Structure 1
Amino acid sequence: LVVAGTAYPSVVSSIYLISFIILAMMWAFHVKLLTPAVALLRAFLCAIASFQLLMLYLYQIQHIQDLIPKESIYTRLFGLTPIIRTNCTTPHQLLLYPGLKWSVFVEPSGVFLLLWSMAVGVRIDGDNLKTKEKKQFGKKMVIRLKTEKSLHGSCWSDIIHPQVWSVTYHSWLTFVLLIWACGLWMVKERSWYTLCCSPVFTIYGIPHCGTAGGNIVVGWGDLNESELPTVINQTDGNKLYLSAFGIRRYEYPFLHLGIQILYLCGFWLVLHQFNYIRKHGGSGSTNGGLIDGSFTTEADTDSWAYRLGEYCKEMLSRYWIFVVIGFHIAIATEGYPSGTKIIYFALFVLSTVSFVISWQFFRKSLQLYWIVLVTYTMIVLGLIYTYQFQDFPKYWKQLTHFTDQQTLVSSSITNPFELMLSILLPALFLLVVVLQLQYFNDRFLEVNDAILSIDGDGHTGEEGSAEEYEMGELNSGTREDDESWLTRQCRKMCPVVIGSIKTAVSLFIRGMEFHLWRLVFITAFAVAAYKVSAIYATVVVFWVLMLPARVTHRSLYIVTTVGLSLVGMAIMFLQLHFINLQLPYNCTVTVHVGCCCCLCGLLFVQQNMSRWIGIEKMNRNGIFFNHINGLIAILLMISFERVISLRQQWRSKWLKEVRPTVTAFYPSVTWRDADKGLVEFCKYFANFAFYKFGVEACFVMSVVTIWVRADMYAIIYSLLLVIALVLKTRLSLHRYWKFYSVALIILLVWQYLICLGMPPVWCVANQYPWMKLGSNVTEHDRLVRWMFLPDYLIVQDSTALIADFFQLLFVIAQLFVFEHENGEWTQFGGDNRYLTGADLDQVTLVGNPRKNFMLKKARSVLDQLKGFTFKYMIWVTMAMVFVAGTTRISLFCLGYLISFFYLLSRHQELMMGAPSRLLLVWNVVLGYNVSVITLKVALQVISCVYIETLQQRACSVVQLLSLVCSKRASYGLDAPSTTDQTCELSYTNAGLTWDFICFLFLLTQRRIFSSYYFLHASEDLKISMQLAAR
């Protein structure tokens, strides 16, 4: 009936559609369909379908088509469409009219299927149907009991259907549905009120679908504008567009009719359930728990599917708020800013600030916050919906007295797809917030209720209730005798899977508790590095200075959250059309080159004050989220850190968890357990990797920073690294580390200020003193880049400072280790003092505090790994030294080769000799490696700035030292070849990569030689040599 009634709208097809609506209403009111009246209707429809098929068949005759042309209004009204065209010269050839729509072919097919199905239904014996119906009465009662538990979800769909209908088809009639649905979302017992409103929904939707919304009348026979106008000229000269009332012309009305009938089926479904409740005595929302979905049986609660559903509900109650936050950010920052989005963003930052400052206030105001958000979203949804109607923007302007530029909402949207998207996002956000408000908020507040009294007494209830608040895991139920194999396997695997997930989540959160503050700092600095401005310069200065003082981080987070929230609001407000942020300054920059003076030009766009401050205007066609994503990332990371902190307080309050003294994933594993097995060693390494090898990690990070920077500041970092490597004792390194940290902090802040430069207004009357550097313009630009100086023309690469920040972060972490390693950390992580060569010389085989893993009869996997590391790792290191010496031909590589052959020739002597001599030789090789890195970085000023002059006057020096610029593109050295073919080098980099790899292995090997375990490997080698000599 639906296909036949909507495929090609006409007078005849409307009979099918009306019949379908009548039958659907009978089903919704629980009227029996096997009655004589329905049989009479079926016979009538059979006659109509047969008559229509006959008329369609006869109309394909060419003579009848000539007699009644296809342009006639009667043929179009009754759906007589010519499909076959007959050519008198070739009467046996089948010809079709060109340009026919596919719906023309669907119409006769649908009518034929309708006729066939009804004819088959006439042949079915009604008595047999009644007998079968009586036999299946018991089964239907069981199905009804199950249907009762699905009423709640069906009422949900009945609220969502009007919203989807109104979003899909924009008109005043569907706007009523939208307002109606929003009102139902706000009431408390929405399920019962939705059922009560289902008759009205259905009665309102039927004419809307049949006439205006479905365009039956407009679709009849493709009536044109003169026969059935959609625009009416009024007496005052204005035009009334009937599209505002849902009357439109579609190319394929079948699709739109089908979609709206599908919406109407949802209303019929709820109306059917409403009449079912009335028929079985239900009269209210408290009737047996039918409406609120609380009707369950004991068998249902024992099923694993029910417990899984309860577990999912518990998880949604805890984490659905994150979905709301994501939608809130999306609706506030999508597209170009407007007045409505500014209020959304203000609500977002207000909730973020309140959460970071005070959890108690945030929790108490959360209910009000959701109500405000829902109410405002409804207002915005109605505002956007009505603003798209014709002449309605004029009414809004008259009401608010705003100009076109000051209008708070977006302009009128003519594209139907864009219109649907503009309405769909607020509608989805409304749905998400309502779910949080009505279904998850109470449970969310109940779970987090303990945080309100962190300083009070602990929980005195049972431990089971705390566990229930913590995870809400699946409870094991009683097994049924007739459960299937799949059910049994699921019952067995669920605890294993849940346990694995809980362990992984627990380790992840524990790691966040230890290291999340570092991620917050990394995020803040990375955002500031990618978007250099005066606003982020303030963040960099305070955050870098406060990095070592962890007690100030909480206050720093609060101040930053408030400040960035105000900045975000200001940036969003300044994007409005009527605000002009262009603050250009015309700067005449004079560059002195040698004895001459060159005028480089006027700067207009580059020297913009708003860009320097960080409040520049975005592109009109851009997305505001891309303009402010860094600021939002900082706010979210601070909020996430606050979540982890509150969770830690929650567990301490309810579960009586004591925070570990050391930042360890496995607090029970200490240095005494490291030699028990591979698993214990891995746990110990996860606990104290940085505690034991933090200094080496800082050295490696320093070399990485030197490798990335390769400029003047890399030389400073190299000198600081050399000083740290020279120090022999842990105490002297601790004293130097404080100076090291302060120096890195000052250098990092200074370099960021260099990237920012002076304000553009300063360039009007002042210039930098180093504008006279260099003998020409190219040399001047390269010197400014290598020395990392501020300049009006050259923008320094601020993202390179991220490596500097990681270096500082590692150094600060090691400083924290230095301050705590001589206290109670020693009993967990073990002694952390340096072992010099003299100390190792005095250790005997019996006096070695570490067990001999080489002489065990049954060696474990851990013992075998130790044997490879302490006995054969030197060969891998020597191989890296050899590779570093053979990657290119230069004086530096020659030193690597000499070191390799010396170590190769004296390998056994060094391994079996005194540890002090071995460490002395190894320190010489390591010192040579660091010297090569320092010299290569220092020679970058020649390789990148004066390379052309050096190639012409000292080509042998270029080839001997293999002088190649590491950042050729930055210094304008794209082509590796030169005009002088005799001085050409095939290398594209300075070889610092292999120097870094060699440094990594040499440093690791030095730590191996400084261990008690290495003495066992050395003793085993001596024994092997003695046995071989026999």
Structure 2
Amino acid sequence: MASETVCGLVFRLLLPVCLAAACLFRYNALSFVYLIYLLLLPLFPEPTSTTMQGHTGRLLQSLCFTSMSFLLLHIIYQITVNSLLAGNSIIAPNYYILERPPEEMAQYNADFEAEEQVAEDEDDEELYDEEEEEEEEEVKESAKMKVLRIVAEVASKVKEIIGNLITTAGKVVVTILLGMTGIMLPSLTSFVYFLLFLFLCTWWSLRRTFSTLIFSCMCVLMAIFSAGHIIMLYLYQFQFFQESVPWDDGYIRVFGFSPIIQSNCSYTWKLIVHSDRKWYHFVSPIMLLVLYYTLATLIRLWLQEPVEQLMEEQDGNSSANRKRHMWWESRLSDLSGDRLQAVPTANGTSFDFVTAENGPVCLDLYSTPQYKLDQPIDSPGELSKESEDEENDLKKRGVGAMVKVFHFVMKQSYICALIAMMAWSITYVSWLTFVFLMWSCMLWMVRDRRRYAMLTSPFMVAYGNLLIVLQYIWSFEKMGEVSGFFVKKNNPFHSLSSKILCLLSFWLLLRQTLTEREEKLKEDNIDLLDVHIPGPQVEGLMLNVLQTAPPTEEEDSEEGGEPDVMQVLGNMVMALLVKYWIYICGGMFFFVSFEGTIVMYKIIYMMMFLSCVVLYQVHYERWRWILKYFWMSVVMYTMLVLTLVYTYQFDETRCRDLGLEKFSLSMLFTRIFIPTSFLLVCILHLHYFHDRFLQLTDLQAVVAKEESTIYSHAKVNGRVYLIMNRWVSARFLWHLSPSQFNLSVLPSHALLLTLAVFSSSSPVLSPVQVSFLNSVFLASWAFALPYSQYRRLASSVCTVWTCVIIICKMLYQLKSIDPTTYSKNCTKPGGYTKNPLDDSLLYKAPVDPTNWVGLQKTDDLLGYLRYNLLMLALLAFEVTIYRHQEYFRLRNKLSPPAARIIFHDITRQHLDIGIVCFVKYFINYFFYKFGLETCLLLVVNVIGQRMDFYAMLHAFALIAVMYRRRRKAIAEIWPKYCCFLACMLTFQYFVCIGIPPAACKDYPWRFPGSSTDSNVVKWLYVPDFLTKPNPAFLIYDFMLLLCASLQRQIFDDENLAAVRLMAGDNVEICRDLDAASFSVHNPVPDFIHCRSYLDMLKVIMFSYLFWFVLTIIFITGTTRISIFCMGYLVACFYFLLFGGDLLLKPIKKILHYWDFLIAYNIFVITMKNILSLLACGYIEPLMKSSCWLIQLFSLASPIKQCNLPEDEAGIIWDSICFAFLLLQRRVFMSYYFLHVVADIRASQILASRFKLNYSEVKLS
């Protein structure tokens, strides 16, 4: 007989597939018989030598007889019908029959004869090849047998897996199949499966179980019902039943008997399906068949279990003594062969001790101890046992970890249930699901939400079952939708399956509730038993309690410290969430406010957020006190928004700006999902992180680092120490580095902050940002930069005003505000003869007065507000840094550093050590040493970039500052200079704003009788509607003001002793010093002999810079042919001629000549700026009469006939020359230069002595 595995594979897989194919591809009475056989197969056992003599054999015999009979009937029928048709004894039906015409039949016969002759020839050739093929087949038989063995092994393994799955998890599989079969195609017949599925799951959630008898009876009934369902569905595919009961009949559709096969007598051999059938119409019968097979298999296995148990008991009784005898014989042979395992007893006998796992059970009854002997050499068997034990331990650990994860998930099942309620309500919007939304929101708001969620879990399950049952009924094909309650779905499987997943969380929560309640009752009963149980029973009870008691901390640590590691990791994650979850909440504010169309409820969200930011900026302690009530108000407002948006069912356009309108289902999901997510985020922060966040941000509570939670886990070992040490170091670095870095780069931080403020008010990137609203920012920071006492007030004012602007811009985007209703058309007066004003802002288009204020309509609101949001973020970032530094200093008992530097270990004494220290020193104190020169260079840069009226004012201010010459005198007038810059910057911004254009009043220089040229208007930098002032010029003024404010701080720091000790002083050297006599007392080291690379750099700087500056002066004089350049050449040749002697003169004399050269350079820059008015506005008259004047003063001209470069007057080289002149002046004022002078004088003395000695020798 063939192998049982192959027989089982054929009987369980191949035969059902063949029967299913016979049923699916042909629908008639014969196929219906095959369907009956298909349904009977899973009820019979597999064919074996025993079962073939019983019902299985008779089933297979009847199947073979039936199939052979059907085959003979087909043959007889076809022969009879074809014979009668050939003799014209019967007439063919009226419908079209596929027949061949006579011509085609004749051709077909001829082709057939030719093919038959060719086939005979091929048969002769095959006779010769048969012998060779037989030999090859003998060789291949062995390979085929191997393949068959492999196939049999794979089939047996698959069979074993499926069998184990069905036997061990049969109830779960049946329950899942019942649910999937019920929801695949909702109908009255499928409702039985679905209702039973809900009943089983609800019964399980109530911690109730079925007896095997009841469950088996239920499976039998469901198998009978599903078999009848399959039979009825199959019969309805017949043409007779479809014609008797039409498929559009209401009862047929309610019962779920949908026609899948479409009959056509013209094509009886062709399988035609209905074109309007969906995929679930085809999957539903398959699921019915899978459900039936699973139920039948379970029934068959349950019926076989008693018989198999009886046979096993009989076989066990007959062979138990024989097996026990064989075991003792093998054990005695082991004892005789290995004496090392024998252990002597007290009376001299010996016996072998074995472990409880390998030894007989009777050994465990005695109280003798168990020993394990150390073997000198481990045998391979013992090594394999150890490896198996290790694998078992790993498996147990994995299972234990999975159990812990499962318990953790079950304890947090209330969160899944609450999220499922919200997901159900926002995914399937109706009045019935609105209850879930309100229910979940209320549970999220209460503090002890887990307790109340468990208390209401029975009502969740009941209401969820009711909703899904009603939705199931309304998913029938004939049922229509009910507006606001039941929405008709095109694919009911998706909606029902997602709702079942949500309902699963309710079942888990209910089961967890009952489980914890039972555990609590057991603990209470144990406590009562401790009091009332008599004495003899106490010992046994206490023994059980001790065995089940939780391990102590020492035992936990001995087991590897894994719980401690998990606890530490949990604390780390919790600490991160406490610190940064509030940023997620802030981000959700932006996500809610700027998603989609701007409406009123989103603006209110932004108002709430901005009010929180303002309070954080202005009053920190009040912000911490009100933060809890703020989050509570946000939660309540979000619930109100959800309720209104969810329940609003009207179409009035008045409420659209409020955010109340009737959305489509997809849009409503988006509108509901985002506020719901925001509500969840805020509630999580309020209940889990808020209190700890307040403790973390409390500046008044000064806690030592040793008392913090970092060091609370002191009993951990191994990996725990490693994790903790890394965490401590990382957290310490997090606290330390930002504080030191931010303290060191406060000037840079101020630069970034003010740049952001200025970017929103001045507009290199967006000129439309210049408006009346933004003038508050520039005016406040223009005076707060030089006067530090007003900076905190300026930050608060800017924060409040930024929030006001953001709200105003958002309100202006509402659809109810229409700019065309209040825009004004200005009429151009007549009489203009010279200036065309068609492009003027007044007459080009209707004037919107809100544009002058700073409001405009836009489709990209987030891009429109990006500068304001950036400024608000940087203002909050600034105050956060200051408070973090304060917290860090209080926590670590530190004092603020004296200087704002990066490298705290670098002072003035390290400057001359080496190049590295030299670079670090100037990173720390570059602006301290060269801040004044940087400001002066920025003044020249502003003049060169602008070349207008205000550049001329800057030139005059530069002359006034440079006239003081001495650093101390400049420091005295520097506050006034800063005030001058702040006032001029503010005034220029208001010039850029101009008067409101809605007044339709033009400026005097644009009156009909005015002859002012547009270029002159640009040079004067006055407001104009035709040629608006370029606000980009204000960037250069602002940078100058920023550096001037920092320099004012430097002037104040120079008077501090601590700063002078660290950075050195900026006091100028005495101008009457004699270099030769003072070189001995010079405080700086001598670098002339080049003992290091730094000395070589000093030699290049202090010895040769003077000649390089003269080269720059020469280049500046030769770039243009003008009277100004001639002055540079004269100065260059003078210093080249007398430069060597000039360096040997006192410092006072050197500075006298050099300051004259700097004054000439400033004079040239100022005159070029003034004369640019002629080149800009009056170049045409000069071209006609005085072209020589243009070349004489190097006037820039756009006219090519003058042969002058366009738009450039040579001021770039004037600026470069000014920079090197200032640098050389600092060289003259340095103590290092005295070493150069002393070296030059010594060289001259040596040269004169050599010349004197040489002349004496020559004379002698």
What interval of TM-score do these two structures reach, taking the shorter chain for normalisation?
A: 0.7 to 0.9
Residue 612 (str. 1) matches residue 852 (str. 2): yes
Aligned to 1:206: 465
- Given the superposition, is the C-alpha separation of residues 595 and 937 from structure 1 closer, same or farther in structure 2, using an over 3 Å criterion? closer
AA of the residue aligned to 1:197: T
**How do residues 277-676 of structure 1 correspond to structure 2 at under 5 angstroms?**
277-281=516-520, 303-332=564-593, 338-341=599-602, 343-387=604-648, 389=649, 391=650, 405=654, 409-451=658-700, 464-465=706-707, 468=708, 480=717, 494-511=727-744, 519-530=752-763, 531-559=769-797, 561=799, 583-584=822-823, 586-588=825-827, 603=843, 607-614=847-854, 616=855, 618=857, 623=861, 634-651=871-888, 653-665=890-902, 669-675=906-912
- Given the superposition, is the C-alpha separation of residues 520 and 598 from structure 1 closer, same or farther in structure 2, using an over 3 Å criterion? closer
Aligned alpha-carbon RMSD (Å):
5.7
AA of the residue aligned to 2:508: L
Aligned to 2:484: 244
Q: In the TM superposition, what is the alpha-carbon distance from 1:183 to its structure 2 partner?
A: 0.8
- Given the superposition, is the C-alpha separation of residues 41 and 1023 from structure 1 closer, same or farther in structure 2, using an over 3 Å criterion? farther
Q: In the TM superposition, what is the alpha-carbon distance from 1:690 to its structure 2 partner?
A: 2.0
AA of the residue aligned to 1:826: R
Q: Deviations along 1:282-323, whole A, 9 cap, x unmatched?
A: 7999x99xxxxxx99766786444323313322432343343
Aligned to 1:828: 1062
Which protein is bigger by CA-based radius of gyration? 2
Residue 792 (str. 1) matches residue 1034 (str. 2): no
Distance 1:307 1:7 in 2: 47
Aligned to 1:263: 502
Higher helix proportion = 2
Q: In the TM superposition, what is the alpha-carbon distance from 1:919 to its structure 2 partner?
A: 8.5
- Given the superposition, is the C-alpha separation of residues 804 and 47 from structure 1 closer, same or farther in structure 2, using an over 3 Å criterion? farther
Distance 2:1227 2:804 in 1: 53
* Contact 1:705–1:803, Cα closer than 8 Å, also in 2: yes
Q: Deviations along 1:494-542, whole A, 9 cap, x unmatched?
A: 4554444334322344357666566554444332335333333344334
Aligned to 2:202: 25
AA of the residue aligned to 1:228: M
* Contact 1:884–1:896, Cα closer than 8 Å, also in 2: no
* Contact 1:155–1:191, Cα closer than 8 Å, also in 2: yes
The aligned length equals 946
Distance 1:78 1:1022 in 2: 119
Distance 2:673 2:748 in 1: 39
Secondary structure in structure 2 of the residue aligned to 1:816: helix
Distance 2:434 2:182 in 1: 26
* Contact 1:303–1:477, Cα closer than 8 Å, also in 2: no
Secondary structure in structure 1 of the residue aligned to 2:654: coil
- Given the superposition, is the C-alpha separation of residues 488 and 51 from structure 1 closer, same or farther in structure 2, using an over 3 Å criterion? farther
- Given the superposition, is the C-alpha separation of residues 569 and 598 from structure 1 closer, same or farther in structure 2, using an over 3 Å criterion? closer
Aligned to 1:745: 982
- Given the superposition, is the C-alpha separation of residues 83 and 556 from structure 1 closer, same or farther in structure 2, using an over 3 Å criterion? same
Q: In the TM superposition, what is the alpha-carbon distance from 1:664 to its structure 2 partner?
A: 3.5
Compare 533-542 and 91-100 and name the one that shifted more.
91-100
Distance 1:48 1:896 in 2: 115
* Contact 1:367–1:437, Cα closer than 8 Å, also in 2: yes
AA of the residue aligned to 2:1054: E
With structure 2 as the length reference, what TM-score do the two structures score?
0.62
* Contact 2:655–2:661, Cα closer than 8 Å, also in 1: no
Aligned to 2:434: 175
Aligned to 2:928: 691
AA of the residue aligned to 2:571: E
Distance 1:928 1:104 in 2: 97
Aligned to 1:234: none
Aligned to 1:731: 968
* Contact 1:910–1:918, Cα closer than 8 Å, also in 2: no
Q: In the TM superposition, what is the alpha-carbon distance from 1:138 to its structure 2 partner?
A: 10
**How do residues 16-95 of structure 1 correspond to structure 2 at under 5 angstroms?**
17-18=194-195, 20-31=197-208, 35=212, 37-38=214-215
Secondary structure in structure 1 of the residue aligned to 2:496: helix
Q: In the TM superposition, what is the alpha-carbon distance from 1:173 to its structure 2 partner?
A: 1.7
Distance 2:305 2:1099 in 1: 89
- Given the superposition, is the C-alpha separation of residues 219 and 687 from structure 1 closer, same or farther in structure 2, using an over 3 Å criterion? same
- Given the superposition, is the C-alpha separation of residues 875 and 189 from structure 1 closer, same or farther in structure 2, using an over 3 Å criterion? farther
**How do residues 821-970 of structure 1 correspond to structure 2 at under 5 angstroms?**
821-824=1054-1057, 825-834=1059-1068, 841=1075, 846-852=1080-1086, 941=1173
Distance 1:783 1:192 in 2: 79
Aligned to 2:1049: 816
Q: Deviations along 1:716-755, whole A, 9 cap, x unmatched?
A: 3344445545654212322342342222122111111111
- Given the superposition, is the C-alpha separation of residues 596 and 74 from structure 1 closer, same or farther in structure 2, using an over 3 Å criterion? closer
Distance 1:44 1:964 in 2: 105
Residue 768 (str. 1) matches residue 1004 (str. 2): yes
- Given the superposition, is the C-alpha separation of residues 505 and 651 from structure 1 closer, same or farther in structure 2, using an over 3 Å criterion? closer
Q: Deviations along 1:317-346, whole A, 9 cap, x unmatched?
A: 234334333434554566666553454444
- Given the superposition, is the C-alpha separation of residues 918 and 376 from structure 1 closer, same or farther in structure 2, using an over 3 Å criterion? same
Distance 1:585 1:892 in 2: 54
Q: In the TM superposition, what is the alpha-carbon distance from 1:788 to its structure 2 partner?
A: 1.6
Distance 1:929 1:116 in 2: 103
AA of the residue aligned to 1:444: F
- Given the superposition, is the C-alpha separation of residues 477 and 708 from structure 1 closer, same or farther in structure 2, using an over 3 Å criterion? farther
- Given the superposition, is the C-alpha separation of residues 997 and 51 from structure 1 closer, same or farther in structure 2, using an over 3 Å criterion? farther
Compare 145-154 and 317-326 and name the one that shifted more.
145-154
Distance 1:984 1:41 in 2: 108
Compare 596-605 and 363-372 and name the one that shifted more.
596-605
- Given the superposition, is the C-alpha separation of residues 785 and 64 from structure 1 closer, same or farther in structure 2, using an over 3 Å criterion? farther
- Given the superposition, is the C-alpha separation of residues 955 and 149 from structure 1 closer, same or farther in structure 2, using an over 3 Å criterion? farther
AA of the residue aligned to 2:930: F
Q: Deviations along 1:777-814, whole A, 9 cap, x unmatched?
A: xx833332332211233433334423322211111111
- Given the superposition, is the C-alpha separation of residues 386 and 986 from structure 1 closer, same or farther in structure 2, using an over 3 Å criterion? farther
Q: 2:450 aligns with which of 187, 191, 208?
A: 191
* Contact 2:202–2:507, Cα closer than 8 Å, also in 1: yes
Which blocks of at least 5 consecutive residues in structure 1 are unaligned? 231-241, 289-294, 395-403, 453-458, 966-975
Residue 229 (str. 1) matches residue 480 (str. 2): yes
Percent of matched pairs sharing the same residue: 28
Secondary structure in structure 1 of the residue aligned to 2:773: helix
* Contact 1:166–1:178, Cα closer than 8 Å, also in 2: yes
AA of the residue aligned to 1:786: W
Q: In the TM superposition, what is the alpha-carbon distance from 1:675 to its structure 2 partner?
A: 4.5
Secondary structure in structure 1 of the residue aligned to 2:897: coil
Residue 275 (str. 1) matches residue 526 (str. 2): no
* Contact 1:513–1:644, Cα closer than 8 Å, also in 2: no
* Contact 2:185–2:284, Cα closer than 8 Å, also in 1: yes
Q: Deviations along 1:173-230, whole A, 9 cap, x unmatched?
A: 2211111011112212111111222232233223324543xxx44544xx3xxx4332
Distance 1:109 1:920 in 2: 106
With structure 1 as the length reference, what TM-score do the two structures score?
0.74
Secondary structure in structure 2 of the residue aligned to 1:535: coil
Q: Deviations along 1:66-121, whole A, 9 cap, x unmatched?
A: 88877666776566777788998888888887687566676677667767877887
- Given the superposition, is the C-alpha separation of residues 60 and 447 from structure 1 closer, same or farther in structure 2, using an over 3 Å criterion? same
Secondary structure in structure 2 of the residue aligned to 1:664: coil
